[in-house]
A and B are shown apart, each in its own frame.
Chain A
Amino acid sequence: MIYTDKVMDHFQNPRNVGVIKDADGTGQVGNPVCGDMMTFSIKVKDNKLEDVKFQTFGCGAAIAVSSIVSEMAIGKTLEEAMKITNEIVAQELGGLPKNKLHCSNLGADALHAAIEDYKKKEKDEAAPGPEKEKVQKSKECHCPYCDGPLEGIEGICSSCHVDLEKCPHCGNLTKKGGEKCAKCGAALEPE
């Protein structure tokens, strides 16, 4: 088996699967192009994570990572939860195969995105203003190939060095010179 017993346990019996109906914050990372996509929803009480639920489209590692992140996060303060890193997640699972380590990034990222979403909503309530587009933007700022963070909208991904451009069909980022858009699958004109 390519996975540790702990990974297989979380894969077979994932904790906290689902969606919180009246969530205080939600986060989504990844996309089906790289194989994994995760959504986290959180319930916050007195600055603590009272409940965390997740849904995952992905491999065994991705499911196990989401499960253990949810388990680790419940009961933690928001500050503590923000300190959950991919290294800690992989360690907690007794290690992950090298080519699956990126899954552990996604789990923590999705949780953090949900916490950021909660904080933003809190701030919006205190001082309402033109803030809406920020969430949209942060979703766009991840490389569609490796999910590494992107600084600008176009250019080369600093994580996997893929040259990116906007797809003329759907507007999402995709590989420059690729045959098909990574997001919508539309055929791209060769330069």
Chain B
Amino acid sequence: MKRVYLDHIAATPLDPQVVEAMLPYLREKYGNPQSLHSAGQEALAAVQEARSRVARLIGAEENEIFFTSSGSEANNFAVKGMALARRDRSQHLVVSAIEHQSVLHSAKSLEKFGFSSTLVPVDRDGLVDPEDIKRALKKETALVSVILASSEVGTIEPLAEIARICRSAGIPLHSDAVAAAGSIPLDIRELDVDALSLAADQFSGPKGSGALFLRKGMRILPFIDGGIQEGGRRSGTENVAGIVGMGKAAELALTKLAERGERLRSLRDRLIEHLPQKVDRVNLTGHREKRLPHHASFCVEFIEGESMLLNLDMKGIAASSGSACTSRALKASHVLLAMGIDHALAQGSLVFSLIDSTTAEDIDYLLDVFPPIIDRLRKMSPLYTKFLEENEK
């Protein structure tokens, strides 16, 4: 059976060059970067090389990169660490309603330490209005955190504008760039954010490797107390192979960024244009233009996401959904609900995410198998029957 993997927001394959770069550090080069001997220094040099490669991906300085175990950890580190470092005078947070759970739940857990937070709404396309950020700021705001691009709907936020507002108010800004880094060009000086979260597994690097960019001079509470690793801010023996893999993946991503974006954008647009033509009542979610080049997301009316995913999987297609039934917590995606999409429609959520190796044939295969699946499920749906009856009247 043909296999088409279109769930690269969940996982990307390791680039063979990344595997090659990692292997020595899983085998013979097993030194601890904190050791003084040659074996240790060899590992340290590899970690530092990786650090500068990750820094180059976003136009940062080498000593502004702190390795973590994931994008979620980077988000926790930034939100909790930056907020708690300012808690003496500032106990308020501003976050958007469509943040990743690792930001939202970090803000929530800070309530136990006396913080309160303002949730900034988004419009129907998932865009944050910078003016809303401005209105939400208080004298005692410790941190603003706005996602760079949503993994669920692909919308790219006006971060540079938000940064200008935060800068002039003197309030630090963090952005979760996990879904965006490696897919779109990012320049930290242009964006002017103070902290940025990244994850290697979004750009063909290994799982379990993330990083936080923290602008020089920014205060943050250490995330793991212990030794002197990561400048004493994130202790624990370095995941050398993972870090080396992230560095190599960042280097490869940077060289391919422009060309890759162009190609993926055209495949994405093919899907966005044709899917709603093949099946009626399929709605694009997220902004039509201001979106990640490898991201196409929809809500299909009258049917539920999990039943679509199972049927697509039987045809060899891997995708994801923000429906309640696909989440273990049985709750519909907070991102879709925040965009004003009603519960029934949010249940029909589908997300397709592409990668370099995705071909036009892959997209056409999806376009071919999709209509009969939807037809079959709609025939089973009481909501569709009701819709047809009402249309007859």
- A residues lining the B interface (CB < 8 Å): 8, 11-12, 14, 17, 19, 28, 32-39, 55-63, 99-100, 102, 180, 182, 184-185
Residues of B276-329 whose CB lies within 8 A of A: 302-307, 310, 314, 323-326, 328
11 A-B contact pairs sorted by A residue (CB < 8 Å): A8-B310, A11-B310, A14-B380, A19-B385, A32-B347, A36-B325, A38-B382, A39-B382, A59-B307, A63-B307, A185-B342
Do residues A62 and B343 form an inter-chain contact, with CB atoms below 8 A? no
B14: Cβ under 8 A from any A Cβ: no
Cα of A97 to Cα of B317 in the assembled complex, Å: 23
Instruction: List the 7 closest pairs (A to B, CB-CB), nearest first.
Output: A59-B325, A32-B344, A59-B306, A35-B324, A55-B382, A185-B342, A35-B325
Do residues A35 and B330 form an inter-chain contact, with CB atoms below 8 A? yes
| Chain B residues in 8 Å Cβ range of A61 | 325
Do residues A57 and B302 form an inter-chain contact, with CB atoms below 8 A? yes
| Chain B residues in 8 Å Cβ range of A55 | 380-382, 385
A37 → chain B closest CB, angstroms: 6
A32 → chain B closest CB, angstroms: 4
| Chain B residues in 8 Å Cβ range of A34 | 324, 330
Do residues A35 and B323 form an inter-chain contact, with CB atoms below 8 A? yes
| Chain A residues in 8 Å Cβ range of B272 | none
B130-169 near A? 1/0 per residue, CB < 8 Å: 0000000000000000000000000000000000000000
B337: Cβ under 8 A from any A Cβ: yes
B79: Cβ under 8 A from any A Cβ: no
Do residues B303 and A57 form an inter-chain contact, with CB atoms below 8 A? yes
| Chain A residues in 8 Å Cβ range of B347 | 32, 35, 57
A171 → chain B closest CB, angstroms: 17
Cα of A117 to Cα of B9 in the assembled complex, Å: 47
**Nearest residue, chain A, Cβ from B119:** A179
B360: Cβ under 8 A from any A Cβ: no
A17-B380, A33-B344, A57-B347 are known; give 7 further A-B pairs, CB within 8 A. A11-B310, A12-B314, A19-B385, A28-B382, A32-B343, A57-B383, A185-B343
Q: Which of A19, A28, A58 contacts B307 (CB 8 A)?
A: A58
Cα of A184 to Cα of B323 in the assembled complex, Å: 17
B216: Cβ under 8 A from any A Cβ: no
Do residues A58 and B328 form an inter-chain contact, with CB atoms below 8 A? no
| Chain B residues in 8 Å Cβ range of A182 | 343
Chain A CB within 10 Å, residue with most, of B305, B326, B343, B347: B343
A119 → chain B closest CB, angstroms: 22
A10 → chain B closest CB, angstroms: 12
| Chain B residues in 8 Å Cβ range of A39 | 382
A186 → chain B closest CB, angstroms: 10
Cα of A5 to Cα of B38 in the assembled complex, Å: 56
Q: Given A57-B304, A63-B307, A63-B380, are A33 and B325 also a contact pair (CB < 8 Å)?
A: no
Cα of A140 to Cα of B307 in the assembled complex, Å: 27
Do residues B328 and A180 form an inter-chain contact, with CB atoms below 8 A? no
Q: Given A32-B343, A35-B347, A99-B330, are A56 and B382 also a contact pair (CB < 8 Å)?
A: yes
B337 → chain A closest CB, angstroms: 7
B319 → chain A closest CB, angstroms: 15
